[in-house]
Chain A
Amino acid sequence: MKTSIGLSDSVAGVVQGAGKCEQCGATTRLGQGLCVSCLFNEGLGREGEASTEVFESVLEEANVPDTQWRLGNYEILEEIGRGGMGVIYRARQRYSRRFVALKRVLTYHADSHETLARFRREAEAAASLDHPNILPIHEVGEAEDGLPFFSMKLATGGSLRTAAAALRSEPRECVRLMAKVAHAVAYAHAQGILHRDLQPGNILLDARGEPLVSDFGLAKWLDKESDLTQTLTTFGTPGYIAPEPAEGADFSPAADIYSLGAILFNLLAGRPPFVGPNALSVIRQAAAMPAPKLRSFAPSVGRDLETIIARCLERDPKARYQSAAALGQDLERWIEGRPIIARPVSAPARLWRWSRRNPVLAGAAIACLFLTIAVGSLLRERFSVQPSASPSDKSIAVLPFENFSDNKENSYFAAGIQDDVLTSLAQIHDLKVISRTSVMAYQKSSGRNMREISRALGVANVLEGSVRRTGNRVLLNVQLIDARNDRHIWAERYDRAVADSIGLQGELATKIASALKAKLAPEERARLDARPTTNSEAYVLYLTALGTGNDIEAEQLYMQATALDPGFALAYARASILNSGISTAMASDHRARKAKARAQAEEALRLSPNLGEAHMALGLCLYVGAKKYDAALKEFEVAAATSPNNAEIYIYVAGIYRRQGRWRESVASFERAMSLDPRNRGLVFNAGNNYLFMRDWPATTACYNRALEIAPDFVRPKVGLAYLEVFRNSNPAAGRKNLKNIPADIAPPMDW
């Protein structure tokens, strides 16, 4: 049987009624609906048999040669796969002559109009998916016999099933492919479409070997035969279905995530996690015992990959990755050699495990932490709200620039330029600019899906760029894209000596504002024109500090910059902001840091009394150091006036209002911050805490869930949801259960 584009022979789509034979009442059926008993009885029939010659001559009498076989506007060329309910052909569109794959329901399933109508609706929904790694559906049509069919791209590279043997020796390639598949599935989930039958045969490959996920949401129609709990294929490839839908639970994104893990397991181990003589046995194993360790079949595969797959194959759906995107990201981290999120055991994880073993003690400790960590995390996390349905034309996200420079220091430099441009744009009142934390998730510039980014961040436009620094020269390429339709608006190339690049960020911001038709007030224009320093070495240090991501190192770099240019107010202000942050992070030198922060803030203000960052720095000193909340609020007000798009400011303000018991103002400020920084998990979690204290249970739940959607491994909202059970439902048992559902091997992030 040819299965390169084959329909599923797994049981995942097997649903509905045991299907007794109408004639003999037997339940032993073939996928096509034929009854094995009746077929066998045919062997005893008295109608006689047709010899080869007779059979063929009668066959030829029927004037229905396959060469004249048409469905709608397609000529059927050959069958390339089949499943329980459907069949798939290679076909040619009559006028365009393009080759397509054409899938249709087999005639004898045309018994129910309702079924066909639903099949058609599903096909139409699947056809609306537009993603580079989802097999495009060209047309949903109806043949002369009234049966629906749909045509799609003909994937000529086979499928992961046919490619599996060759891929096995290339784990990186397997992971690369599955990361793409995971993101494609995440995209479909975001459109509300579940796949329900992910398995190697459904992941096709195009001519270049890139994956194309096929059959979104269609499996259940293509393989409808019977209820899994009642009727099972005695041999199929059921190793990819999650245990819970097989046991009757609703299908959820988590079940698709399980399948993704099982497929990767199969690619690396040469077999799915569970195998058995029949679907029932496979599903029972999957439900009853933990998935086998990948490395027991593929010892050469690293532990991290084993951990990622184990996470997908958790029996409890809640213990899996909370989204296919999170899985995709972890796979990318693995490829890039960065630490994965699903790491097994680390010190905080051990603490976490301890707390699960000692729930009473830990409960008390958590209750304390719950309140005290809030401010610290506010400072360390720049913080989300559901993006609005249609983003304003004047909204923009500055994505991480690609670094084409040769060393690490220069990569910080590239990141610094991006941050600098972002900060400059954030000063324009007429624009909405997404904050840094939210754009940092889009590190990789290859394969960015602009429409998806537009939706996730709630912006219309995206700025992309690349930086090459060689010696004393900087080459910067930037392009402005309307992300809603992937249309290029404007692009520019700058090739300058480093010394001449000072002020480039303001120049760029002005051009972007003009391209987006954003109004620039005279004082805004003046601020953008101002150069933060005139010393090119100090400026390089400043950009490197912006890009480094390590607060302590960055603070030192800013101070080195001020040593070179003592008039560098912005560097003082940034150093101060960092010191305030570090002082709240349980640093041993917190007192010294606070003092330093204050001195730096004051120096910045002395040098540049109207500098927004300097007011923000002083506001922070007053907030976390002196605890003079009203004075701090005044400083933040000035800062916000010069940098209206800086989410950080609104986060601090929300924190102060909370301390002052001004809950509504606090929530309003959190909401404003979330609109600018929608993918900041700490922010969303903290907003959830506000709602918790305000007893707004639905809003609390929404925030915690959203934080988990952004960061599936974020422990705190999980603990928060457990609290919610206690506070909202007075159900400590459910709370305890929630806590127990947190996987023991999770590595809580540093802000736990």
Chain B
Amino acid sequence: MVKSEAVTGVVAEPRVFATTRWSLILSATGSDADEQKKCEALAELCRTYWRPIFLFVSRHGHSIQEAQDLTQDFFVMILESDWLQQADEHRGRFRSFLLKSLQNFLSHAEERSRSVKRGGQLEFVSWDEWLAEAPSQLMLSAQTIESLPPEHLFDLRWAATVVEHALQRLREQCERKGRLRLFETLSGYLTSERGDVSYAGLAAALGIAETAVKKQLHNLRQRFRWLLRDEVAHTVENPADIDDEIRHLCVVLAAANG
């Protein structure tokens, strides 16, 4: 999967990561304003990654309504409790920390339901909005959904969410620069091997030279890579963990398709 195109003179800059969401969230408590920022960052992450959580809860044999309520309860729990204060070996990565917490949460959910009547009194965000605003394009085979252990399914859905989010951002950035058409025409080839791309056809469709097409596709790939890594960076505490996290998810994806 490693491409070897050398059509541009663009030099990749060494990446300097700003403070990412997860590292911000885990940073030592500061002022009220910092607390507010942390809270917003956590809410933002939850909003991005609700699908793996909901899928996991559902896959655990809960009815749809229960799964909706439990997902809501889980978000409320992590947003309002001292969840983050738990010392945990998984803390370095938002994904694994969240999964661990979710497993814990679910194992105690039954006890809690005996004492507290759930009913979605507190909605983190409305399901309608989730459904309407962020339709997912992911397709999985039925066999994958049924045969994978829930933890793998969680990771698989997580990986897809990362990818979808990165693609969405790439699209928006192109649109902002008035190059949506370029994105639409080329984004289908982001992962194509060089030999599989009909540059002549694309050049004709866009009305630009073949060399320009190659350069633009290369640029889109590089930007996608930047965005994908940025997405992952937001979910790890230490930038050094980005590659590890990506590798982990690649393995999950490979296993799911095996």
Contacts and interface: CB of A to CB of B under 8 A. Distances in A.
A46 B135 contact: no
Contact of B15 (A9, A39, A49, A108): A49
A41 B223 contact: no
A66 B140 CA distance: 34
B133 A62 contact: no
A69 B208 CA distance: 13
A350 to B, nearest CB: 34
A126 to B, nearest CB: 23
A76 B133 contact: no
A658 B172 CA distance: 75
B135 A9 contact: yes
A22 B196 contact: yes
Contact of A1 (B135, B160, B246): B135
B228 A39 contact: yes
B156 interface: yes
Given A48-B10, A84-B137, A229 B178 contact: no
Contacts of A60: 177, 179
Interface string A1-33: 101000001000010001100111111111111
A277 B64 contact: yes
B250 A37 contact: yes
B181 A64 contact: yes
Given A47-B3, A50-B12, A26 B253 contact: yes
A42 B226 CA distance: 10
B162 A40 contact: yes
A164 B133 CA distance: 14
Q: Please classify the interface of chain B as helix (H, G, I), strand (E, B), loop, or mixed, using the class held by over half of its residues.
A: helix
Contact of B178 (A14, A66, A87, A278): A66
Given A79-B180, A234-B138, A28 B13 contact: no
Given A27-B144, A58-B215, A64-B182, A50 B135 contact: no
Contact of B137 (A31, A51, A55): A31
B164 interface: yes
Contacts of A62: 179, 182, 206, 208, 212, 215-216
Contacts of B24: none
Contact of B185 (A1, A36, A43, A107): A107
Contact of B174 (A23, A36, A59): A59
B188 A106 contact: yes
Given A3-B135, A26-B253, A48 B11 contact: yes
Given A41-B250, A54-B10, A66-B181, A108 B189 contact: yes
Interface centre among B142, B157, B216 (most CB of A within 10 A): B142
Contacts of A3: 132, 135
Nearest to A143: B205
B105 to A, nearest CB: 17
B223 A55 contact: yes
A285 B64 CA distance: 10
Interface in A586-641: none
Contact of B188 (A18, A108, A230): A108
A30 B139 contact: yes
A523 interface: no
Nearest to B218: A47
A673 to B, nearest CB: 53
Contacts of B127: 271, 275
A1 B169 CA distance: 11
B221 interface: yes
Contacts of B164: 30
A231 B139 contact: yes
A465 to B, nearest CB: 46
A59 B145 contact: no
A47 B221 contact: yes
Contacts of A40: 159, 162-163, 228, 246, 249-250, 253
A9 B228 CA distance: 24
A14 B224 CA distance: 27
Contacts of B225: 42-43, 45, 47-50
Contact of A47 (B12, B58, B163, B207): B12
Nearest to A236: B135
B257 A27 contact: yes
B36 interface: no
A270 B254 CA distance: 39
A31 B131 CA distance: 16
Interface centre among A54, A65, A225, A231 (most CB of B within 10 A): A54
Contact of A233 (B136, B180, B184): B136
Interface in B1-49: 1-3, 5, 8, 10-13, 15
Contact of B51 (A23, A58, A234, A281): A234
Q: Please classify the interface of chain A as helix (H, G, I), strand (E, B), loop, or mixed, using the class held by over half of its residues.
A: loop
Interface in A282-323: 285
Interface string B221-236: 1111110110010000
Contacts of A275: 64, 68, 127
A164 B10 CA distance: 49
A194 to B, nearest CB: 23
Given A24-B257, A31-B137, A66-B181, A277 B2 contact: no
A8 to B, nearest CB: 9
Interface string A387-431: 000000000000000000000000000000000000000000000
A32 B216 contact: no
Nearest to B224: A42
A344 interface: no
A475 B67 CA distance: 64
A446 interface: no
A281 B157 CA distance: 16
B178 A65 contact: yes
A29 B137 CA distance: 8
A66 B180 contact: yes
Contacts of B253: 26, 28, 36-37, 40
A50 B219 contact: yes
B51 to A, nearest CB: 6
Contacts of A45: 1-3, 221, 225
Contacts of A274: 64
Interface in A151-167: 161-162, 164-165
Given A39-B167, A144-B205, A278 B140 contact: yes
B110 interface: no
Contacts of B160: 28, 30, 36, 234
B109 to A, nearest CB: 16
B256 to A, nearest CB: 6
Nearest to A162: B132
A232 B137 CA distance: 10
Contact of B135 (A79, A231, A235): A235
Contacts of A76: 181
Contacts of B123: none
Interface centre among B12, B173, B243 (most CB of A within 10 A): B12
B112 interface: no
Given A47-B221, A54-B13, A234-B160, 16 more contacts: A9-B136, A23-B192, A28-B144, A35-B191, A36-B253, A39-B166, A40-B159, A41-B250, A44-B250, A49-B225, A60-B179, A62-B179, A84-B137, A145-B204, A276-B58, A278-B140
Interface of A: 1, 3, 9, 14, 18-19, 22-52, 54-56, 58-67, 69, 76, 79, 84, 87, 106-108, 144-145, 161-162, 164-165, 225-226, 229-237, 270-271, 274-278, 280-281, 285
25 contacts: A9-B136, A25-B257, A28-B138, A30-B164, A31-B138, A34-B167, A34-B188, A39-B191, A39-B228, A40-B159, A42-B224, A43-B229, A51-B13, A54-B219, A55-B173, A62-B208, A62-B216, A63-B208, A144-B204, A233-B136, A236-B136, A277-B55, A278-B140, A280-B145, A281-B64
